[in-house]
Amino acid sequence: CSKSSDNDPLKSWDCIDGGCVELAGTNGVYASLASCQTACGETPIQTEYSGQITEDVTWTKDNIYTLDGRVTVISGVTLTIEAGTVIKAEGGQDADASCLLIARGGKLMANGTASMPIIFTSVADDISNSHPSYPGFANLNETQNNLWGGVLILGNAPISAASSEVQIEGIPASDANGLYGGSNASDNSGSLTYVQIRHGGTSIGEGNEINGLTLGGVGSGTTLNYIEVLGNQDDGFEFFGGTVDASNLLVWGQGDDAFDVDQAYSGTVNNFLGILIDGDQGLEIDGWEGTLQADFTLMNGTIIGAEGLKNNCGTFKSKASGSVSNMLFKNMKEGAYLKVDAGATGITFSNISFEAGYTQTLTDDLGTTDFDANNSGTGGANLSNFNGWSCAGNQGAY
């Protein structure tokens, strides 16, 4: 049973007709679900997980679940998470970092709703679905990170790397469940909708941190929609190849890049928002590394810089190939750059806008003037899509 459910002043339980019933406040006889289940003769529900999940299981919103170390949904197994469920992870460093890993062939069905989003967070977070501030902050905020790992989803879709399958960053090479990549472009790793991932980014080694949501070789059969990463030490979202489409993605307060694309990712990211604090930049777009060459699509995005800090707009590195359209960069400090390397010859831009209190010309490293910054930027993401369900929306961050 969940350690987080014990002595929660917002919850209590009573044994009614042979079963445990949750009551508001202290109206129940029992302060914890575990003590009620013992009195009622119920079999306690497993809510603390470590190691591998080897059979289909459903996590329900009336429990808080705890990840202790790396928890892996292995091939052939489906983890289903009800709307409104809160999952909390212990800390841990290096190879012992807590995270949820969906291995190739496994599935995560985590479908929240606009009023009941699913939250992945740290055990240090007091949030629950009965907390008065849910789905906003309880005791932590967007500046607190590195409290656990994150969520990693791996699939069998094509990647462009040294070989057709490689080990994902953030998982030790000794764990074969960390392999991703294959030949099934329509591979299905499940569905994530209305999900928050908070306060992660633990490092497992020098330069090897866990992203908020890592996607390695994820196929187009997978659904990714309405997902927020906040307070993560490394990147918010990182796509390592794959073909999956994603929409309505939000990053608030990452330590490195808000959105990172690698290894010939060939899906579409539509309607996305990055709210920077002391992180590096909004976008880091890398190209193909192996023989496979494919194009990504980024459309309808907004990147908001931090007041007084020099965040950069983004970098398009050598061999990057794809299209970027209807982008708005705002509140970026003078001197911030959008860098397009000479080798990124496959990039096309359209309707790129900068909102600033100054006028500045931006050039690529070939010396060609591409964009002008001004104080009347338009376009970008539809921010209303993030209202209600996201923490950033509830805290008035945009």
pLDDT digits (tens, 9 = 90+) for 180-222: 999 999 999 999 999 999 999 997 766 677 999 999 999 999 9
Look at 267 and 6; give whichever has higher pLDDT. 267
Would you state the pLDDT for residue 337? 82
Burial 117-139 (b: 16+ CB within 10 A, else e): bbbbbbbebebbbbbeebbbbee
Would you state the pLDDT for residue 357? 61
Whether 53 has a pLDDT exceeding 60, the answer reads yes
Averaged pLDDT, 269-297:
94
HSE toward the beta carbon, residue 72, CA cutoff 13 A: 19
When pLDDT is cut at 50, 70 and 90, the band that residue 172 belongs to is: confident
Averaged pLDDT, 344-354:
88
Nearest to 356 by CA among 379, 336, 375, 378: 375
Q: What is the token pair recorded at 307?
A: 């007041």
CA distance 79 to 151: 13
When pLDDT is cut at 50, 70 and 90, the band that residue 2 belongs to is: very low
When pLDDT is cut at 50, 70 and 90, the band that residue 62 belongs to is: very high
CATH 3.40.1190.20 at 51-394, yes or no: no
CA distance 305 to 166: 34
Residue bearing tokens 């119920």: 42
Averaged pLDDT, 87-97:
87
When pLDDT is cut at 50, 70 and 90, the band that residue 5 belongs to is: very low
Q: Is this structure's pTM higher than 0.85?
A: yes
Mean pLDDT across the chain: 90
Residue bearing tokens 């509830």: 394
The dihedral region occupied by 35, where left means phi > 0, alpha psi between -120 and 50, and beta the remainder, is alpha
DSSP-derived pairing of the beta strands 11-16 and 107-111: unpaired
Q: What is the token pair recorded at 27?
A: 């109206």
Domain borders along the chain are: 1-45, 51-394
Nearest to 258 by CA among 179, 201, 180, 317: 201
CA distance 87 to 281: 29
